[in-house]
Structure 1
Amino acid sequence: MNLQAQSYPGIFITFEGIDGAGKSTHINHFARKLQEKYPNKKIILTREPGGTDLGEKLRTELLNQPMHPETEVLLMFAARREHLAQVIEPALMSGDIVISDRFTDSSFAYQCGGRGISVTQLNTLENWVQGRTINGQAYEIQPNKTFLFDLSVEIAQKRREQTRTPDKFEQLDTNFFNLVRNEYLRRAEVFQNRIKIIDASLSIDDIQKIMDLEVGLL
């Protein structure tokens, strides 16, 4: 059950997608439009892994250092726990709007789909890190809305090659990213009320029009 919908006055929104899908391009535009709609609310832009001093240090290691897949997922959730404690939950309790570039859907996509960590292990970590009990009722902190920028692996790879020096994930082969994309799409099917798929092959203008419509629905 979504904890924000039950107990927090703030709004939690996440952007997801494989590397190169273009989600980061649209976050600032979306944030500006939300600020126009909610001029009295504070907009918090953050990211995972990262978002805190510790999280950013872990991000550097996670994106660059080779490590066992289970070590990788444990560090991801360690950074997330700190992120929740220091940034996300305080902001939501204050009634702010939090927009995060990635959250737990990325862990399922990359570590479960791509790396092969079992869903059971991911579910256990998710419940441990995001689970809360209020008035005797158990909840998990989840985004109110998630935008999944979906794009073919081949096009995403071409975009990555044109824009930046690849990190250790971006250097992986198309098979890895097909597994990641498939897991994202599986989760979108399971969580249809939360996850909206955005066709990332559309033009920037067309995607921004879609995002503008979504602002109107929040």
Structure 2
Amino acid sequence: MKGAFITIEGPDGSGKTTLIDHLKTWLTAKKIDVIATREPGGTQLGEVLRKILLDDHDHDHDHGDQHDANTRIRARISDQAELMLMFTARMQHLHEVILPAMAAGRCVLCDRFTDATYAYQGGGRGISERRIQQLEDWVQQGLQPDLTIMLDVPIEVGLQRTKKRGIMRSSGRPGGDRFEQQQLDFKEAVRQAYLRRAEKYPQRIKLIDATRSIGEVQDDLTAQVEAFLTAPRGARQG
């Protein structure tokens, strides 16, 4: 099998992590060589940038002899800088992990990719799609996922789920990372941007109602992936 690139997208509380684990197990059982990765992250550099992006900007900073090495500083990242860091992590991820795996014939399963950038930095932060498109063209050189599964849940449902699981992220504080702590209008803007992406690219992006039971969503997910895997290569995207 020629290498494939499958991404899973969705707002907070859509169940991405659980479903990615399920899909990886399902693909492995079918004797498909699969690698699971995530964005931002997936590489040593990417994971460092992920912590910077998600931990609400609290960082240990060593000032040398003048201050204690554990002095905490607070550095606000601008929206534009946030966008650049996302694509910096993505550039490294592509060249270190995704492209080599695909070249070796492996199936790459990625927790979020550029659709998330259009949703969070575009819809949520209000950065123009044109600016995001410019970076996408440069970094990806035309590469797109072969299939994107987009999990959709109303904001209220997502909030109930994140509260129920008692979120603790790399920040070490309850309440989620800095994206999960955003206000409701930000979350709704992210969801609507995701839905616009699904409407714009229906052949690549398959929208799944993630409000249903986990079993129903898993069945829908594997059915979509199986249809993709069994379709003629040229018919997978249009």
Q: With structure 1 as the length reference, what TM-score do the two structures score?
A: 0.90
- Partner of residue 145 from structure 1, selected from 147, 150, 163: 147
- Partner of residue 181 from structure 1, selected from 182, 185, 191: 191
- Partner of residue 202 from structure 2, selected from 192, 198, 201: 192
State how far apart, in whole Å, the 2-side matches of 1:102 and 1:189 are: 18
- Partner of residue 106 from structure 1, selected from 116, 127, 152: 116
Query: 1:33 aligns to what?
Result: 26
Q: Give the secondary structure class of the aligned counterpart of 2:9.
A: strand
Query: 1:46 aligns to what?
Result: 37
State how far apart, in whole Å, the 1-side matches of 2:225 and 2:98 are: 20
CA distances 1:151-207 after superposition (whole Å, capped 9, x unpaired): 000110111112213101111111001100000000100100000011010000111
Query: 2:163 aligns to what?
Result: 161
CA distances 1:82-112 after superposition (whole Å, capped 9, x unpaired): 0000000000001000000000000000000
Tell me, yes or no, if the aligned pair for 2:91 and 2:140 is still in contact at 8 Å.
yes
Calculate percent identity across the aligned residue pairs: 46
Q: CA deviation at 1:23?
A: 1.4
State how far apart, in whole Å, the 2-side matches of 1:70 and 1:205 are: 39
Q: CA RMSD in A?
A: 1.1
Q: CA deviation at 1:212?
A: 2.5
Query: 1:5 aligns to what?
Result: none
Q: Give the secondary structure class of the aligned counterpart of 1:99.
A: strand
Q: With structure 2 as the length reference, what TM-score do the two structures score?
A: 0.82
Q: Which has the larger radius of gyration?
A: 2
Q: Give the secondary structure class of the aligned counterpart of 2:202.
A: coil
State how far apart, in whole Å, the 1-side matches of 2:177 and 2:222 are: 31
Greater percentage in helix: 1
Moved more, 144-153 or 161-170: 161-170
Tell me, yes or no, if the aligned pair for 1:11 and 1:97 is still in contact at 8 Å.
yes
State how far apart, in whole Å, the 2-side matches of 1:160 and 1:52 are: 26
State how far apart, in whole Å, the 2-side matches of 1:63 and 1:35 are: 31
State how far apart, in whole Å, the 2-side matches of 1:74 and 1:215 are: 31
Q: Give the secondary structure class of the aligned counterpart of 1:14.
A: strand
Q: Structure 2 unaligned runs (5+)?
A: 58-75, 169-175, 230-238
Q: Structure 1 unaligned runs (5+)?
A: 1-7, 132-139
Tell me, yes or no, if the aligned pair for 1:33 and 1:215 is still in contact at 8 Å.
no
State how far apart, in whole Å, the 2-side matches of 1:153 and 1:213 are: 26
State how far apart, in whole Å, the 1-side matches of 2:84 and 2:121 are: 10
Q: CA deviation at 1:214?
A: 2.2
Q: CA deviation at 1:215?
A: 3.4
Query: 2:98 aligns to what?
Result: 88
* Equivalent residues, number: 201
Query: 1:57 aligns to what?
Result: 48
Moved over 4 A (4+): none
State how far apart, in whole Å, the 2-side matches of 1:114 and 1:60 are: 20
- Partner of residue 77 from structure 2, selected from 47, 67, 78: 67
Query: 2:136 aligns to what?
Result: 126
Letter in 2 for 1:32: T
CA distances 1:124-154 after superposition (whole Å, capped 9, x unpaired): 00001001xxxxxxxx111000010000001
